[in-house]
Structure 1
Amino acid sequence: MTFLRMAVAALALALVTILAPQAAAAPGVGVVEYNLGDQAFRDPTVSVPMELAAVVHYPRDLGGRPHPLIVQEHGSWWSCVDPVAKTPGGDWPCPPGQRTLPSYRGYDYLGEKLAERGFVVVSISANAINAHLLGDEGYFARAHLVNKHLELWRDLARGEGPLASTLGRFRGHVDLSRVGTMGHSRGGKGVMWQASDKHTPEWPAGVRIRAVVPLAPVYFNSTEDDNSDVLVTRVPFKVVVSSCDGAVGTVGLQYVKDVVGKNPDASSVTLTGANHNFFNTEWSPGKIGGEDDTTAGCVGKLTPGQQRGAAVREIVSFFSSRLR
């Protein structure tokens, strides 16, 4: 190993060590973060480098068996905040005086509930994509970012790779043949892209996706009559949409319509009174940049807590039935 490679490896290890404190969530649930750097992932098919950062919720007692893995991916939002001016920003990496807006922590409530049911849950950061990428490049970048984290976890489960030295507790305790993905908003299209029949060959060796949840997902194709990039006929999926979504409406139901007669395990649910942003605590009122996007005249509007509770019930039930 050259001096430069050794230095890079040492820096990556330092970042993981510093940003991997264990914190209490619910009884029996552990929380740990890792961060290999704001520009650590240089995918040759994507025009900008991406961060490799995530928060993990997991059963503290991992026992003697491997656990299913779930990867969560947020959608498009601000990437940074100015804590003094209390304003959001859209650069990446964040400029001096600003800090990261942690959209990936907006699903902690869901990760906690899934961990209570025995899942290892990895919620990944996609701020570089939000700051720099649009169109199809943004979607295949999201899919490739999911695959990169899955590759890291496959290696970690074997006791290998850049996460092994600090997250070694997971060695032998994660089953990469039982993987679920959840994506919110543009992340919803990202996970459908990653799970599609067309892109299955891009999954890391040894990884199998068995369940997908697009949560309030966007839906549109760059070529109107070609939906092949997001056509999922071989993997069970459940689309969750909101009746009062002021950002994307219920367009995500089209994912199910596209596979009628082709995927017997494709379904959907519409949450009455739910909006778009309340699914992510970092996008909700009370946080810098947070907004209530509920449509005018919404019938039966849910509070943030009620909406998240409804999402938890649907998502936990689906993953529990497909990944066991």
Structure 2
Amino acid sequence: MPALVLAAAAVGGTATANAEPETAPGTSARAAARPTASVTYDLGDKAYRLPGTDKPVEAAGVVRYPADLARGRHPLVVLLHGWHETCADPEAEAARTAAERADDMDAYTAANKKLFSWPCAAGTPALPSFRGYDYLSRRLASRGYVVVSLSANGINASSVTGDDNAAARAALVNRHLRMWERLDRTGKGALAGAFRDATGRRKNVPFARHLDMKNVGVVGHSRAGAAVTWLVADRHRGQLPAGVRVTAAVAVAPAYNVMTENMADYTVTRVPLAVLRGTCDGQVGDEALSFAAEAAAGNRHGFRRLRIPGANHNFFNTQWSPHSGQVASFDDAVPVGKRPGWCTDRDGAPAARQLTEAQQHRAAVTRIDAFLRRGPGRGSHPLGR
């Protein structure tokens, strides 16, 4: 299978207006010399309704791309976050914490409802989980990819769980892929004229006919890790939009429905798949790795199962990490008794020195970048030339 490797014409060049020649974690000075730029798009908090629930879901994302976008065609990488609070309401968070301490379930439920509502109440900002992978987007864009990180707050605020949740997130990715394919092929559609710069002003970006939609990678974290596995599963590949080919998938600390009644919904034999999990993940158990291995049994295109010593669950997303100061951010690693700085994923399990947020970002960037660029096995590459 061809790899997500870029043609030389797609990665060189000099900085252009609004370019951002910043260094991403784990990036060498040489790689950082390739400048990038970014835009956002937002088609509304109620862009569509979840089937079966009629709950509203947004269609929004942040895009990081090479500043020399107009040279050649660029593989597309889609990032998706998992389940987390949707509204940045510090008063509701404080009320929830107090209710938990007082064992007041009614007060806890009321506060939690505010934190998981969608759209958020007037004056309450949405919690931007989709901005939590900017460090990864910068690295990949500096390599020549166009990287889109999607918001999924509407799904998080819904009651959809288990396999239905994985299916709903996969459908969200497909909805965005359909818009990107049309934009690239025709220059038209919902995304035409929808991009905004950091000041909120409309920005024209020459994405049309400069994307390689037959060369798409998908990366999902937490419940979105299950979603990207579902997306590329053999039985769901037919749901991809016409003109789109996904050639690599990465599940980061995936929260699989390990009690699923139909393993075929996750069986991946035709797309390279990598799964990452930290040894200090306090939210997703080690069974995520064994589940992925079962799902990828017989995958001749490549499977990688990677443990990251000292990594937890939340540090993969900067918005969920304490350093952000964001509502509902916390360190989920399990501390080890009399060994400060050490952690594990459960009492009595082997311990490791805990990675800082920056160290965990570098570990994730290095592994994901290597998988997308060099491929999972001998002579193979996930994302095509």
Q: 1:117 to 1:230 in 2, by over 3 A?
A: same
For structure 2, list consecutive stretches of 5 or more residues without a partner in the other structure: 1-17, 23-32, 95-113, 196-204, 337-342, 344-351, 375-381
Deviation at 1:78, TM superposition (A): 0.4
Deviation at 1:25, TM superposition (A): 6.3
Which structure 2 residues correspond to residues 104-123 of structure 1 after superposition, within 5 A? 104-123=130-149
Deviates more, 1:82-91 or 1:108-117: 82-91
Q: Deviations over 1:200-257 (max 9, x none)?
A: 1100000000000000001224544x21111111000110111010000222212123
Q: 1:194 to 1:46 in 2, by over 3 A?
A: farther
For 1:164, which of 184, 188, 192 is the aligned residue?
Answer: 192
| 8 Å contact from structure 1 (residues 178, 210) kept in 2 | yes
1:148 aligns with 2:175: yes
Q: Deviations over 1:274-303 (max 9, x none)?
A: 000000000001222100001232211100
In the alignment, the residues of structure 2 paired with residue 99 and residue 228 of structure 1 have an alpha-carbon distance, to the nearest angstrom, of 39
Deviation at 1:174, TM superposition (A): 0.6
Q: What is the letter of the counterpart of residue 239 of structure 1?
A: V
For 1:66, which of 68, 73, 80 is the aligned residue?
Answer: 73
| 8 Å contact from structure 1 (residues 273, 300) kept in 2 | yes
Q: Match of 1:317, SS? A: helix
1:288 aligns with 2:327: yes
Which residue of the partner structure matches residue 230 of structure 2?
193
Q: 1:43 to 1:23 in 2, by over 3 A?
A: farther
Q: 1:89 to 1:44 in 2, by over 3 A?
A: closer
Q: TM-score, normalised to structure 2's length?
A: 0.75
In the alignment, the residues of structure 1 paired with residue 193 and residue 247 of structure 2 have an alpha-carbon distance, to the nearest angstrom, of 29
Q: Deviations over 1:24-67 (max 9, x none)?
A: 46261101000000010235466423100000000011143110
For 1:219, which of 248, 256, 271 is the aligned residue?
Answer: 256
Which residue of the partner structure matches residue 50 of structure 1?
57
| 8 Å contact from structure 2 (residues 316, 361) kept in 1 | yes
Q: 1:162 to 1:112 in 2, by over 3 A?
A: same
In the alignment, the residues of structure 2 paired with residue 292 and residue 178 of structure 1 have an alpha-carbon distance, to the nearest angstrom, of 35
| 8 Å contact from structure 1 (residues 232, 263) kept in 2 | no
| 8 Å contact from structure 2 (residues 85, 127) kept in 1 | yes
Q: What is the letter of the counterpart of residue 123 of structure 2?
A: G
For structure 1, list consecutive stretches of 5 or more residues without a partner in the other structure: 1-21
In the alignment, the residues of structure 2 paired with residue 264 and residue 61 of structure 1 have an alpha-carbon distance, to the nearest angstrom, of 31
In the alignment, the residues of structure 1 paired with residue 299 and residue 237 of structure 2 have an alpha-carbon distance, to the nearest angstrom, of 16
Q: What is the letter of the counterpart of residue 248 of structure 2?
A: A
Deviation at 1:144, TM superposition (A): 0.3
Q: 1:208 to 1:45 in 2, by over 3 A?
A: farther
| 8 Å contact from structure 1 (residues 274, 301) kept in 2 | yes
In the alignment, the residues of structure 2 paired with residue 84 and residue 90 of structure 1 have an alpha-carbon distance, to the nearest angstrom, of 13
1:99 aligns with 2:99: no
Q: What is the letter of the counterpart of residue 245 of structure 1?
A: D
| 8 Å contact from structure 2 (residues 81, 151) kept in 1 | yes
**Structure 1 vs Structure 2: percent identity of aligned residues?**
46
Which residue of the partner structure matches residue 205 of structure 1?
242
Deviation at 1:112, TM superposition (A): 0.4
Which residue of the partner structure matches residue 270 of structure 2?
234
In the alignment, the residues of structure 2 paired with residue 25 and residue 282 of structure 1 have an alpha-carbon distance, to the nearest angstrom, of 23
In the alignment, the residues of structure 1 paired with residue 68 and residue 86 of structure 2 have an alpha-carbon distance, to the nearest angstrom, of 34
Q: Across the two proteins, how many residue pairs are aligned to each other?
A: 302
In the alignment, the residues of structure 1 paired with residue 329 and residue 144 of structure 2 have an alpha-carbon distance, to the nearest angstrom, of 31
| CA-based RMSD | 1.9
| 8 Å contact from structure 1 (residues 38, 51) kept in 2 | yes
Which residue of the partner structure matches residue 26 of structure 2?
none
Q: TM-score, normalised to structure 1's length?
A: 0.88
